[in-house]
Structure 1
Amino acid sequence: MRRRHLPILAALAACSASNAPRTAWAQPAWPSRPIRIIVTFPPGGSSDIVARVLAEALSARLPQRVLVENKPGAGGTLGAAYVASQPADGLTLMLSNTAPIVTSPPIYASIPYDPVTSFTHIAYLGATPLVVVVNPRLVPATDLAGLVAWIKAQRVPPGYGSSGAGSVAHIFGEAFTKRTGAELTHVPYRGSAPMQADLLGGAIPLSFDTLPQNVENIRAGRLRAIAITAPARQEMAPEVPTTAEGGYPGLVAENWLGLAAPAGLPAAIAARLHTETLAALETPLMTARILEHGIAVRPMSQADFTSFVAEEVRVVGGAVRALGLTAQ
């Protein structure tokens, strides 16, 4: 009986051996479909601009197209929650930044994700400072001291615009109020574009916003830059003094940008995305566009970026909690 079964076993073994390569061959190569980068703010802001340039550069390096999709709301937390809930297959990514990862979670109730552990933090892209900017038709001040004096002279606390509750601009605005004693009212918007439209139209007298979004209007005289929230003056607006030069050292803020995916992303895909993203940052297209928008590129390893995020959440997020802010 055993001898009779030998040819059958041999045939089965041969069949299994011949099928093994075909099974491996049938595994789809990554990426098998177009990749989406979710931007947690509306079109037109720094995150959106960087995401679209990055998508273009990555599309040229990967076998599938990389598309951008905007999912704004609640200080970036709606888009972040969406990404955290997606399969960890490397096909849904997030243009992460300070707001949904660091500054928004402490002020919103029931955030359905952990900013550190709910994501695979893939690559750090860079950072950009904020600019204190006013409508010159409404605010006569030309420097930080003059702005503080003007605010204190108003009967009703003036409104300042930000790109949303929990944004870096919102947190900086609250820190500005506490540091200077100049009382302001926060006016949150769904992104920089609608906020800037109201600032230009005179609905609000001032805002705290990323520098690149305001440079054109500053140069045209439609807006007046009062101070940069960076330790040093910026190449794209060298005439604008820092907050330290304006008499408030330590009153600094920046919005960092990165690339993330849902937690559990396979290490091989994370490594490939990290490598391709760093390579994309060095292409002439991205170099020119990023410098054009005042973003300081600081490449770091994936492990360092993950540690950076955890430290930002601990230190900056802790400082936000200490302010006792809540989103309305």
Structure 2
Amino acid sequence: MPQTFSRQQFLRAAALLGAALALPALAAADTFPSRPLKLLVPFSPGGNTDVVARLVGQGLAEALGQPVVVENVPGANGAIGASRVAAAANDGYTLLFGTAGTQAINPSLYRNLSAKSLDDFEYIALVTSIPNVLVVNEAKTPVKSVAELLSYARERRSGMSYGSPGMGSTVHLSGELLKSATKLDLVHAPYKGSAPALSDLIGGQIDFIFENITPALPFIQSGKLKALAVTSAERLPQLPQVPTMKESGFPTFVTATWNGVLAPKGTPRAVVQRLEAATLKVASSPEFKAKVSSLGGEPRLLGSAAFRDFTRTEFKHWAGIIQAAGLEKQ
């Protein structure tokens, strides 16, 4: 005769089963981390992403009690490094220091990626936002404001060039956004990094650039480059006299790169929560905030769920810019 269970017995059995299934995850959280972690930076050493990643890595090592090895895997606007992390073991020991490029822009630029690739990761925490700044070499481009730059470009009618550290960067797409908004004939000059792009701007080989504030700031402060506008929503403390693009006649022109920590999809929730708490602790420290501010960035802290939602909003934002620019998938 089949055995029957009361509703109370059924609920008790379900609770016991749930607790049993949760034991491995709880055990993993209790022992995590038990060995060194790897924080993969999908860009070359020396850039703002690498600098901030090393700050986070050092802080995580102290917070978690295990070494955090920072590894640089550049290529394809960060897509190569991001793909490597997505395919790694989902145990919390291989992490990605993601950016607007890897998480929000690349899915609209590369044929082998799509919006679905946003689900290849567990979102740990967002830590910084780093806006761009529109700069010129006045000896080459004799203007002092965005309005003067546009007038100068219309007088020349064609051929004005803007540099970038590579296809698909927020620097490149900021230039494309200006191009589509003004209908000017502007020529994109891609470089292999910010350093050669800024060098050619100083040397007079290109006309302007929307560069990340971090590498551009020393040249602005030394007078080698003239800042016309910043792409942040508000003026930056480091450049209080420089207006925003919004103030310069472009009310929706807000662009920035950003940095956050991610893990492969399927990383145990308890491990994600441990990493989230540690990352937010690091990023909320006065030392971290001071260092990011000195780089021209803005500390921006979002936990796991908010970071995931933010990334999806950013994906739609950049997809619209890419579509307006008519850029084909690579």
> Comparing 57-66 with 234-243, which one deviates more in the overlay?
57-66
2:161 corresponds to = 159
| 1:82 counterpart = 2:93 | no
The alpha carbon displacement at 1:28 in A equals: 9.8
Matches of 2:299 and 2:68, distance apart in 1: 21
Instruction: Quote how far apart the aligned CAs of 1:155 are.
Output: 5.9
Unaligned runs of 5+ in 1: 1-23
Deviating more after overlay: 247-256 vs 260-269: 247-256
1:220 pairs, out of 219, 222, 226, with 222
Amino acid at match of 2:274: R
Q: Which amino acid aligns with 2:178?
A: F
**3-state SS of the aligned residue for 1:244?**
coil
SS at match of 2:257: strand
- 1:155–1:179 Cα change, 3 Å: closer
Give the equivalent residue in structure 2 for 1:261.
Answer: 263
**How far off is 1:315 after superposition?**
4.0
**Partner Cα separation in structure 1 for residue 70 and residue 100 of structure 2:** 19
CA distance in 2, matches of 1:315, 1:26: 37
Question: What is the aligned partner in structure 2 of residue 111 from structure 1?
Answer: 113
Query: Relative to 1, partners in 2 of residues 1:131 and 1:26: Cα closer, same or farther, differing over 3 Å?
Result: closer
Summarize the alignment of residues 36-51 of structure 1 with structure 2, pairs less than 5 Å apart. 36-51=38-53
Give the corresponding residue for 2:201: 199
SS in 2 for 1:299: strand
Equivalent of 2:240, from 238, 241, 245? 238
TM-score normalized with structure 1 length: 0.86
Deviating more after overlay: 149-158 vs 100-109: 149-158
Structure 2 counterpart of 1:297: 299
**Residues 1:287 and 2:294 are matched in the alignment:** no
Tell me which of 59, 64, 73 is aligned to 1:57: 59
Question: Which AA in structure 2 matches 1:312?
Answer: E
Amino acid paired to 2:269:
A
C-alpha spacing 1:27/1:259, structure 2 compared with 1 (3 Å)? closer
Change (3 A) 1:38 1:201: farther
Q: How far is the alpha carbon of 1:130 from its aligned partner?
A: 0.8
Whether the 8 Å contact between 2:228 and 2:242 is mirrored in structure 1 is yes
AA aligned opposite 1:233: R
1:148 aligned residue: 150
The size of the alignment, in residue pairs, is 305
Structure 1 residue 289 displacement after superposition? 0.5
Residue identity over aligned pairs, in percent, reads 36
Kindly tell me: are residues 291 and 195 of structure 1, through their superposed partners in 2, closer, same or farther at Cα, counting changes over 3 Å? same
- 1:132 corresponding residue in structure 2: 134
Instruction: Look up the equivalent residue of 2:272 and give its one-letter code.
Output: A
For structure 2, the residue ranges without an aligned partner over 5 or more in a row are 1-25
Provide the residue aligned with 1:33 in structure 2: 35
Once the two structures are TM-superposed, the CA of residue 115 in structure 1 deviates from its matched residue by 3.5
Worse-superposed segment, 215-224 or 112-121: 112-121
TM-score, L = length of structure 2: 0.85
8 Å CA contact 2:133–2:212 kept in 1: the answer is: yes
Contact 1:130 1:228 in 2 (8 A): yes
Give the root-mean-square deviation of aligned CA atoms.
2.3
